[in-house]
A and B are shown apart, each in its own frame.
Chain A
């Protein structure tokens, strides 16, 4: 075995043909700077054309290639092959999602959850001629949550999101927070209505699995905790009157 050869074990599963997922081993020649995604391409192009996986930007922006790499949810395009400790690299799809084939999962549930929190900006009237003006200071609260690339890692490792399919999950709640603290948004009350439920913020029990999983080092738990406080304060003090 060559010194720079790496063993990659991929969890294969084709729902149409297989009854159970199984592991298949590939050997890839490691090159300097090779990412796990590069290695997957190497396999796809030269060894096994039937391997299925998702990718798009190859630069950690789109969140398509999130998968479980040696036991931890990571982005394949941002993980160096040499950075994985151990003899072999284990690749499996994000847990608790329906597998379409091999490493590609069905994100329907993930996006259904996301849609529930209205993941878009609802502007204030009167609408401005051009863009909404926001000062650098007003922008600070959304600096971090805006970095979410919706790769689905956090929601797929959240044990509450597995068991309760109605739970919004960390990704959707982080998105909700991102618009809740945005000064340009005009429907904070409606957003709080959506998350104020036992399948909303109250299902979170601060396990911090989402924080461990996030490849962008964001903190969905903190966003959820802050929203809990906002919901509770509103409950205690009553709704703000509309101006």
Chain B
């Protein structure tokens, strides 16, 4: 066994853990709101799962904020979770930096994608 092969960023370990816990708790709250508003809040049941329903919900600024926060947190929590899953196995742990960069790129790209995706629905009747 090599004498010392600990190449882990010490910062990542502690903050990743803390943020994983923080987002976990916030996700439970935000996801609760998301599911409630999407399916059960006082909106015409006929339109719950239609474009019109989506547009009606996204007219509320607060709900847009909730959705975007949810997206950011879910991406962090999910991708950081995936990172943990990968690094638990020795094979991936040797390529920590590459995987870190790849996950950040994937996360930020998905976040932008997710933000853009909702644009047509927010507050206007574009189409």
Contact = CB atoms under 8 A, between A and B. Distances in A.
Contacts of B87: 164, 198
A197 interface: yes
B8 A197 contact: yes
B12 interface: yes
A19 interface: no
Interface in A186-206: 196-200, 202-203, 205
Nearest to B9: A198
A124 B91 CA distance: 42
A197 B10 contact: yes
A75 B115 CA distance: 58
B62 interface: no
Nearest to A109: B1
Q: Kindly name the residue among A160, A166, A205 whose own CB sees the greatest number of chain B CB atoms within 10 A.
A: A166
Interface residues of A, number: 20
Given A202-B17, A232-B18, A108 B93 contact: no
Contact of A202 (B1, B5, B13, B90): B13
Contacts of A200: 13
Q: Kindly name the residue among B12, B15, B87 whose own CB sees the greatest number of chain A CB atoms within 10 A.
A: B87
Contact of B13 (A112, A164, A196): A196
B8 A198 contact: yes
A121 B16 CA distance: 31
A216 interface: no
A200 B6 CA distance: 9
Q: Kindly name the residue among A109, A112, A198, A232 whose own CB sees the greatest number of chain B CB atoms within 10 A.
A: A198
20 contacts: A109-B1, A112-B1, A164-B87, A164-B93, A166-B90, A196-B14, A197-B6, A197-B13, A198-B12, A198-B87, A199-B6, A199-B8, A202-B13, A202-B14, A202-B17, A205-B88, A228-B17, A232-B17, A232-B18, A235-B14
Interface of A: 108-109, 112, 160, 163-166, 196-200, 202-203, 205, 228, 231-232, 235
Interface of B: 1, 5-6, 8-10, 12-18, 84, 87-90, 93
Given A198-B8, A198-B87, A199-B8, 16 more contacts: A109-B1, A160-B88, A163-B88, A163-B89, A163-B90, A164-B88, A165-B90, A166-B6, A166-B93, A196-B13, A197-B6, A197-B13, A198-B9, A202-B17, A205-B88, A235-B14
